[in-house]
Chain A
Amino acid sequence: MNLKRILYVEDEPDIQVVAKLALEMVGGYQVMICSGGQEALDKVGGFAPDLILLDVMMPGMDGPTTLQNLRAGSATAAIPVIFLTAKVQPAEVKQYQALGALNVIAKPFDPMTLAAQVQGIWERKS
């Protein structure tokens, strides 16, 4: 399946703008931005993304909790998730993958290569 629609969950406005730009203009994806875990859970059904990018540390519902909620819903359980985090420590990567995340992208990301990184992970997932 081709990757077309991406839901990006991130609380920081600066990063929201640059990520949307990078994924849309470089990657050619359709991107929806949500500012928090709860908003993502509310909107995921309507947008039906192929892939979700989740920031780990967010106020309110954090990334891992959002993932658990996604996994618990029957319509959203199978949507692949990639975490973004500034704290990529080996123990955490393992923990996130155990939660069912595809992979982790380190922050700060490079806007020039973000789309390529996402595409790479998507292609490797099978």
Chain B
Amino acid sequence: MTDAADFAAQLSALRKHYARQIEGTLDELATRVAGHEAGRVHREILVELHADLHKLAGSGGTFGFSELSRQARRLEVTAKAWLDGSIVPDLVQWEAWKADLLRLRRTLEVPDIKAEATAPMPRPEPEQEKPIRVVLIEDDEAAGAELSKGLGQFGYEAIHYTNFAEAEITILADPPDVLVADIILLTQVSVEGTDAATLLYNRLGYLLPTIFITSRADFSARLAAAKAGGSACLIKPVDIPVLARCITMLQQEREFEPYRVLIVDDDEGLAEHYRLTLMSAGMLAEKVCRPKEVLAALQKFHPDILLIDLYMPECTGAQLARAIRYEDMWLSTPIIYLSAEDDLDEQVKALDIGGGDDFLTKPIVDQKLVAVVRTRAARARKVDELMSKDSLTGLLKHSSIKERIEQEFERARRHGKIMSMAMVDMDHFKRVNDTWGHPMGDQVIKTLAHLLRQRLRRQDSIGRYGGEEFAVVLPECDAADAMKLLDDVRLRFGDIRFVHNGQSFTVTLSAGVADSEQCADAQSLLAAADAALYVAKNDGRNQVCRFEDVAGSASQ
């Protein structure tokens, strides 16, 4: 028996075993809820039921019963809300919930189709990055369809519903990353005695990232959106690039990297206490007890911020800070001194000579430590980002992307791999500025930046090379694949309609692509991509050209 067939056979046996066993579990659940009435059901029973439903939700799909997982998940969410005390079930709700629970057995009759087939063994390939899921609630059928199509062009997976009742099940069973909803449909439609926005918050237990859309541009619409916890409020007809940017910003807030803190204190117990305090506040912290180990720790750990004890046996904290600042790399990293010293003069002196940023006086209240470190680290990150990124697009600046081209070129050479790059330039951009004004031109630039970020892989780098020119670096990708990728971006970008004062227009782009096989160094790679872009422009624009084609046509 081959491994694949063996695996399929064993899996199939496990599924049968699970199905047999789960029938018993479901029967037992049914017996437990029978006879209980709303308001009379004991909390302990609800706790048990919740735990069992949670297990079913988490296991059913693994054994080929996805429907069981979905239904159990819905029941679990409701039970959780009851347990939290946010909603007390009335008789009707309780009976409906019970009936759904009894119906769980039926889901065993509809096993997943793919689970039945002996599927061939897949090679473990890197997980595909999941698209961002958006649920859209808009009662205008045509406008909703248009919006979800538009979001699709940006690579989002949008599902459109025309009312809250239909969307509710999807949202609760499998919460989307972002909700986009007409403000009226979410705040002025009454569901179970409350508005839909409050209901969602109660059931989910957290505020779903929400963007409201409205046809009224007045203050009361904005206020309603703010009251319902919306992250943004956009006026209809919705400008799709603007909506896409809002969604991405919400997403980025969530993909937050924890702050990194390096603690330098000769008192190991105290250092460990600070470390644990910061870790439990969600930061990554490391401690060093001897000043001479600091430089190595800095190199390895790359902290966002340093906490240094002022008095240590080998040197003072201020002297250590000064030694650290000798290296340009750590010039902007904030340094906070920790000390029992409450003499103001001493503190000022330490700030003067070492270039530290602040003082915390021991004993330090945990909350204060966390608050001070967090604020400083947040600001340091922001500054760092501003220094390396273009303010309009959030992409790498000219100098940073050039550096990246060199780094990736060298890396590809070292590992015997191929990499490619592309120069992307908008067609007739000056006309956009002249006809629609500079603010609109900026809008178009931001949209292309956004689309590139959406369509490229995580390991790719994108920079704003000049006014309307972008450079893209694609590691482990040859020119042929880069062509496909850029051509896809070209088509999508050309489809995007920009709206200004009720009039709409589209913009096209040209791109030139080259890969590292064709070039001796990063400089000539850049020149090759530039040459290819030049040909694309001369050849009528709105196309992607490859350096090979360019070289070929030149020699003909």
Interface residues of A (CB under 8 A from B): 12, 14-15, 17-18, 21-22, 25-27, 57, 68, 71-72, 85-87, 89-91, 93-95, 97-100, 107-113, 115-121, 123-124
Supposing A86-B57, A97-B258, A107-B59 touch, asked if A14 and B18 sit within 8 A by C-beta, the answer is: yes
**A93 to B276, alpha carbons, bound, how many Å?**
21
Nearest Cβ in chain B — how far from A91, in angstroms?
4
Pick from A25, A108, A120: contact of B60, CB below 8 A: A108
Interface of B toward A, CB cutoff 8 Å: 3, 6-7, 10-11, 14, 17-18, 21, 51, 54-55, 57-63, 66, 69, 73, 76, 119, 121-128, 175, 177, 204-206, 208-209, 254, 256, 258, 276, 279-280, 282-284, 458
Interchain CA distance A18-B284 in the complex, whole Å: 34
| A71: nearest chain-B partner, CB-CB | B279
Contact between chains at B6 and A25 (CB < 8 Å): yes
Q: A111-B11, A111-B62 are in contact. Are A89 and B279 (CB under 8 A)?
A: no
Q: Tell me the minimal C-beta distance from A62 to chain B in angstroms.
A: 12
Q: Determine if A120 and B126 form an interchain contact, defined as CB atoms under 8 angstroms apart.
A: yes
Contact partners of B55 in chain A: CB under 8 A: 12
Which A residues are in CB contact (< 8 Å) with B177? 90
Given contacts A12-B59, A116-B127, 16 further A-B pairs with CB under 8 A are A14-B18, A68-B279, A91-B206, A93-B254, A97-B256, A98-B256, A99-B282, A107-B57, A107-B58, A107-B62, A108-B62, A108-B63, A115-B124, A116-B122, A119-B127, A124-B127
Once the chains bind, are A86 and B58 in contact (CB under 8 Å)?
yes
Q: Cβ of A110 and Cβ of B62 under 8 Å apart?
A: yes
CA distance A6 to B197 in the complex (A): 42
Known: A21-B10, A90-B254, A97-B258. A116 touches B124 (CB 8 A): yes
Contact A108 B206 (CB under 8 A): no
- Docked pose: A121 CA to B129 CA in angstroms: 10
Contacts across chains A and B counted by CB atoms under 8 Å:
118
Contacts A71-B279, A116-B124, A120-B127; is A14 near B254 (CB within 8 Å)? no
CB neighbours of B119 from chain A (8 A):
112
Which chain A residues lie closer than 8 Å to B76 at the CB level? 86
Instruction: Give the chain A neighbours of B17 by CB distance below 8 A.
Output: 14
Is B63's CB under 8 angstroms from A18's CB?
yes
Specify which of A87, A89, A108 is in contact with B59 (CB 8 Å cutoff).
A108
Q: Give every chain B residue within 8 A of A98 (Cβ-Cβ).
A: 256, 258, 282-283
Instruction: Point out which of A22, A87, A120 has the most chain B C-beta atoms below 10 A from its C-beta.
Output: A87
Q: Of A18, A86, A99, which is within 8 A of B73 by CB?
A: A86
Q: How far apart sit A120 and B54, CA to CA, in the bound complex (Å)? A: 26
- In the bound complex, what is the Cα–Cα distance between A86 and B7 (angstroms)? 25
Using Cβ atoms and an 8 Å threshold, which residues of chain A touch B121?
A: 26, 112
Question: Smallest distance from the beta carbon of A90 to chain B beta carbons, Å?
Answer: 6
Q: B11, A21: Cβ atoms under 8 Å? A: yes
B353 to chain A, nearest CB (A): 34
Question: How near does chain B come to A64, taking the closest CB pair, in angstroms?
Answer: 10
Smallest beta-carbon distance A44→chain B, Å: 18
A85-B284 contact given A18-B63, A108-B66, A111-B11, CB 8 Å threshold: no
- CB distance B62 to A121 under 8 Å? no
Assess the A121–B204 pair: CB atoms within 8 A. Answer: no
Chain B residues whose CB sits within 8 angstroms of the CB of A87 once the complex forms: 54
Q: Are A21 and B126 in contact (CB under 8 A)?
A: no
Is B124 a contact partner of A27 (Cβ separation < 8 A)?
yes
**B112 (CB) vs chain A CBs: closest residue:** A110
Q: Kindly list chain A residues whose C-beta atoms are within 8 Å of the C-beta of B7.
A: 21-22, 25-26
- Which B residue sits closest to A23, measured CB to CB? B124
How many angstroms between the C-alpha atoms of A95 and B282 in the bound complex?
8
Can you name 20 A-B residue pairings with CB atoms under 8 Å?
A14-B18, A14-B63, A15-B58, A15-B62, A18-B11, A25-B6, A26-B121, A86-B58, A89-B175, A89-B205, A90-B206, A90-B208, A90-B209, A98-B283, A108-B60, A110-B61, A112-B122, A118-B124, A123-B126, A124-B127
- CB-CB < 8 A to B58: which residues of A? 12, 15, 85-86, 107-108
What residues on B are CB-neighbors of A57 within 8 Å? Answer: 51, 54
Minimum Cβ distance to chain B for residue A39 (Å): 19
B125 touches A116 (CB 8 A): yes
**Alpha-carbon separation in the docked complex, A98 to B370 (Å):** 14
CB pair B126 A124 closer than 8 Å: yes
User: In the complex, what's the smallest C-beta–C-beta distance from B168 to chain A, in angstroms?
Assistant: 16
In the complex, residue of chain B having the shortest beta-carbon distance to the beta carbon of A27 = B124
Residues of chain A with a CB closer than 8 A to B3's CB: 25
Q: Chain B residues near A17: list those with CB within 8 A.
A: 14
| Nearest CB on B from A59, distance (A) | 9
Q: Which of B204, B254, B284 contacts A100 (CB 8 A)?
A: B284
Given the known inter-chain contacts A14-B59, A115-B124, A123-B126, please indicate yes or no for A89 contacting B206, CB distance below 8 A. Answer: yes
B122 touches A26 (CB 8 A): yes
